């Protein structure tokens, strides 16, 4: 590692900013030209730049899970397609969780950047494609028991070769998905993004000279490493342990243990997940890429946000994830929920452990699920099959200095909720209400953020629905005496007069949170209640004026003010 004293930090700042703006430019092209709502409305994608060795040099701030996953992803692809086989004009596509991927819907596209005939970098786009074939429309088969249920696996292959489409790959891929028109559009968008980025990056490198670029990138990784080491050094040395649980895996009832042991030693940290459950039959196993990504995500949340995000940040962090466990799954177990549901539980366990080392850096648990409600059916208006991946948002954990945020996407995503007016224009549902859940935040000196409630009524003959969520049983934990957030719930109602039921009650499913291929017909309702965040500190320390105003605004009920906070709030509301 070069000392920062020997680096040209001004040039580094300039090249890093320019690489970041290139990544953002790529992202804008993706957003503006893609088809899936999960892409263009929810922004579930990331754009980055990698070195020829697969190290991440820069990534724009789109989706955190994908940023942490990028280093392993590109390295794995390059093991299969060596640099010697890559040519100018190639674009490589990949989604295989068992080749360094995160989960089946996440597609990685990258293309080489050449300067004077030398391959000097890759531009990378990672995006969540809503439909990937498999047992359910929308890519979240929550009752899957093997990877083959989850849709088409794409090992790293060239989708463009020397600048021309490879028609065999396109045909094979599009024949295996339910919405080929949409998939085609999404793939075109990602290709346009990485190709545009490659042109731009080559210009930058030519401008500063290849030698300067290479030295700067090496320095940049060292710089981020030095910054991360300095941050870790501030955390008191010691061993810190934390355990959290997932409700179940969708095909059996037993809870799943996520155990994190953090060993802080000077400028280094080892995070050991030994003790976590063996891998499970259902699709919530995490790949090694997810375990790395989640650990990095947690530590980036607890350290200075201004550290440039690249592979250098991760050098002082060692992850031990025993094979064959829920945090490092072996082929051919299913894993689609590992990236969305298990990731936040892993990240949360690391945050929970390190909060013991330094409570001021802590944050109580967030709702920790993306709700992953997916559905498909026949679009009457445009006469074609549709599939939608709907994300809902959760309450975030309270902090040592403020309440948790309400209604915010879980820690490994940064997605936007699809507006009701867009949703109803595109899909045959009527949204009857969308609101904050009163009293769903964990109590404490600082209150957990509130979860949400959304009720849909089906307007079509039949919609095939599936969900893969969690925290119906195990709530978001509080810290320093703060209470847990309310658990989530998914409910079904047959008609106006019928009772609200869980999916276990109504359809005899194994799990209330993970259920597949339920046919919902006209007039039937689904209600998604999302979990609240954990609280921080003792309720007795809460500012009384805040309690009064929370009651007046209905964030908490009068009952909660009395029972949980010990305060009578007057009738005036």
Partner 1 sequence: MSDYLLGIDVGGTFTDFVAYDKTSKAIDVWKNLTVPDDPTSGILQGISRLEDAAAIRNLRLGTTVATNAILERKGARIAYITTAGFKDIPFLQRGHREFHYDRTWSRAVPLVLRRHCFEIEERILSSGEILKPVSESSVRDVAQRIKELGDIEAIAVVLLFSYVNPVHEFRVRDLLHELLPEIPISISFEVLPKWKEYERASTTIADAYIKPILHRYLGDMETRFHAAGVLGKVALIKSNGGEMTPEAARQQPINLTISGPTGGVIAGRAVARELASDHVVTLDMGGTSTDCSTIINREISFTTDFEISFGLPIQIPMLDIRTIGAGGGSIAWIDKGGMLRVGPASAGALPGPACYGRGGDQATVTDANLILGRIDPSNFLGGAMPLNPAAAEAALAKLAEPLSMSIAQAAMAIVRIVNTNMVGALRTVLVERGLDPRDFALMAFGGAGPLHAAELITEAGIPRAIVPIHPGQFSALGFTLADARVDLERTVDMTSNRFDESRATEILQDLVQRGRAELEAQNYHDDIVVQSTLELRYLGQNYELEVPIDFEEFNAENRARLWQAFHQLHETRFGFKIDKEVIEMTTIKSAVIAITEKPEFMPLAANLRRTQKQNRKVYFADGAHDTPVYARADLRSGETLRGPALIEEAASVTVVAPGQRVAVANSGHLLITQEGSS
Site for partner 1 in 286-315 (CB under 8 A): 297, 300-307
Please give the Cα distance from 193 to 88 (Å, whole number).
16
- Based on CB atoms, which residue is closest to partner 1, 99 or 178? 178
Classify residue 6 by burial, with Cβ atoms within 10 Å: 0-12, 13-18, 19+: exposed
> Is 196 a residue that touches partner 1 (CB under 8 A)?
yes
Q: Nearest distance from residue 10's CB to partner 1, in Å?
A: 5
362-391 residues near partner 1, rule: CB under 8 A: 363, 381-382, 391
Q: Which of 23, 55, 57, 64 binds partner 1 (CB under 8 A)?
A: 64
Any residues with CB less than 8 A from the CB of 219 and at least 6 apart, and which?
2, 7, 8, 12
495-514 residues near partner 1, rule: CB under 8 A: none
* Choices 4-12, 96-104, 115-123, 318-326 (CB under 8 A): range interacting with partner 1: 4-12
List beta partners, residue 441: none
* Choices 1-9, 102-110, 277-285, 501-509 (CB under 8 A): range interacting with partner 1: 1-9
* Contact yes or no for 398/482 (Cβ under 8 A): yes
Q: Nearest distance from residue 45's CB to partner 1, in Å?
A: 13
Q: Nearest distance from residue 532's CB to partner 1, in Å?
A: 14
- Based on CB atoms, which residue is closest to partner 1, 41 or 249? 41
9-38 residues near partner 1, rule: CB under 8 A: 9-10, 12-14, 17-18, 20-21, 24-25, 28-29, 31-37
- Based on CB atoms, which residue is closest to partner 1, 195 or 249? 195
> Is 44 a residue that touches partner 1 (CB under 8 A)?
no
> Is 360 a residue that touches partner 1 (CB under 8 A)?
no
540-549 burial: b if 16+ Cβ within 10 Å, else e: eebeeebbee
- Based on CB atoms, which residue is closest to partner 1, 140 or 427? 427
Which helix (H) or strand (E) segment holds residue 527: the answer is strand 525-529
Q: Which of 70, 154, 205, 393 binds partner 1 (CB under 8 A)?
A: 393
Please give the Cα distance from 260 to 327 (Å, whole number).
11
Largest CA distance in the chain: 76
Across 340-461, the runs of DSSP E, i.e. the strands, are 373-379, 384-390, 429-436, 452-458
> Is 430 a residue that touches partner 1 (CB under 8 A)?
yes
* Contact yes or no for 503/558 (Cβ under 8 A): no
Q: Which of 295, 328, 405, 475 binds partner 1 (CB under 8 A)?
A: 405
> Is 399 a residue that touches partner 1 (CB under 8 A)?
yes
Any residues with CB less than 8 A from the CB of 58 and at least 6 apart, and which?
16, 19, 20, 22, 23, 48, 49, 308, 309, 310
Classify residue 2 by burial, with Cβ atoms within 10 Å: 0-12, 13-18, 19+: middle
* Choices 6-14, 266-274, 464-472, 511-519 (CB under 8 A): range interacting with partner 1: 6-14
128-187 residues near partner 1, rule: CB under 8 A: 181-182, 184-185
Residue span 535-554 as binding mask against partner 1, x where in contact by CB under 8 A, dash where not? -----------------xxx
Classify residue 572 by burial, with Cβ atoms within 10 Å: 0-12, 13-18, 19+: exposed
- Based on CB atoms, which residue is closest to partner 1, 283 or 534? 534
Please give the Cα distance from 494 to 463 (Å, whole number).
14
- Based on CB atoms, which residue is closest to partner 1, 41 or 143? 41
> Is 215 a residue that touches partner 1 (CB under 8 A)?
no
* Contact yes or no for 397/536 (Cβ under 8 A): yes
- Based on CB atoms, which residue is closest to partner 1, 131 or 247? 131
Q: Which of 239, 318, 324, 238 is nearest to 276 (CA)?
A: 324
Q: Which of 253, 421, 495, 496 binds partner 1 (CB under 8 A)?
A: 421
């Amino acid at each position: 590692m070069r000392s920062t004293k020997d680096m040209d930090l001004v040039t580094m700042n300039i090249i890093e900013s320019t690489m970041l703006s290139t990544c953002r430019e790529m992202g804008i092209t993706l957003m503006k030209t893609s088809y899936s709502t999960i892409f263009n409305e929810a922004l579930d994608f990331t754009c980055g730049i990698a070195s020829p060795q697969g190290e991440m040099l820069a990534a724009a701030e789109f989706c955190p899970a994908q940023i942490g996953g990028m280093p392993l992803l590109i390295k794995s692809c390059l093991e299969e397609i060596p640099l010697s086989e890559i040519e100018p004009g190639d674009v490589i596509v990949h989604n295989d969780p068992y080749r360094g991927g995160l989960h089946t819907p996440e597609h990685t596209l990258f293309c080489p950047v050449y300067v004077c005939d030398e391959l000097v970098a890759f531009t990378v786009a990672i995006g969540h494609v809503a439909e990937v074939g498999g047992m359910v429309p929308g890519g979240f088969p929550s009752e899957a028991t093997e990877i083959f249920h989850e849709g088409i696996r794409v090992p790293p292959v060239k989708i463009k070769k020397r600048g021309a489409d490879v028609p065999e790959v396109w045909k094979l891929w599009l024949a295996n998905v339910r919405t080929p028109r949409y998939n085609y559009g999404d793939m075109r968008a990602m290709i346009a993004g990485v190709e545009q980025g490659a042109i731009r990056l080559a210009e930058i490198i030519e401008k500063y000279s290849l030698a300067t670029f290479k030295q700067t990138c090496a320095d940049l990784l060292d710089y981020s490493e030095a910054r991360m080491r300095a941050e870790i050094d501030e955390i008191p040395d010691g061993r810190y342990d934390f355990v959290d649980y997932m409700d179940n895996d969708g095909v059996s009832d037993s809870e799943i243990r996520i155990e994190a042991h953090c060993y802080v030693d000077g400028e280094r940290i080892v995070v050991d997940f030994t003790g976590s459950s063996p891998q499970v039959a259902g699709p919530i196993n995490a790949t090694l890429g997810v375990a790395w990504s989640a650990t990095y995500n947690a530590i980036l949340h607890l350290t200075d946000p201004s550290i440039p995000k690249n592979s250098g940040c991760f050098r002082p962090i060692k992850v031990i994830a025993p094979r064959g466990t829920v945090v490092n799954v072996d082929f051919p177990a299913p894993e689609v929920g590992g990236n969305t549901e298990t990731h936040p539980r892993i990240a949360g366990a690391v945050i929970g452990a390190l909060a013991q080392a330094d409570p001021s850096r802590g944050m109580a648990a967030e709702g920790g699920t993306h709700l992953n409600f997916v559905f498909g059916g026949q679009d009457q208006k445009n006469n074609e099959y549709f599939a939608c991946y709907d994300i809902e948002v959760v309450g975030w954990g309270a902090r040592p200095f403020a309440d948790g945020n309400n209604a915010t996407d879980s820690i490994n995503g940064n997605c936007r909720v699809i507006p009701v007016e867009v949703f109803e224009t595109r899909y045959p549902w009527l949204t009857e209400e969308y609101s904050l859940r009163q009293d769903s935040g964990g109590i404490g000196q600082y209150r957990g953020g509130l979860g949400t409630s959304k009720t849909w009524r089906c307007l079509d003959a039949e919609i095939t629905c599936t969900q893969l969520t969690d925290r119906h049983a195990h709530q978001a934990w509080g810290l320093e005496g703060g209470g847990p957030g309310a658990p989530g719930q998914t409910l079904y109602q047959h008609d106006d007069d019928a009772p609200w039921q869980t999916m276990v009650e109504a359809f005899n499913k194994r799990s209330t949170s993970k259920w597949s291929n339920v046919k919902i017909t006209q007039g039937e309702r689904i209600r998604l209640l999302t979990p609240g965040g954990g609280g921080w500190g003792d309720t007795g320390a809460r500012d009384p004026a805040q309690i009064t105003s929370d009651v007046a605004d209905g964030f908490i009920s009068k009952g909660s003010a009395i029972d949980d906070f010990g305060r009578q709030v007057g009738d005036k509301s």
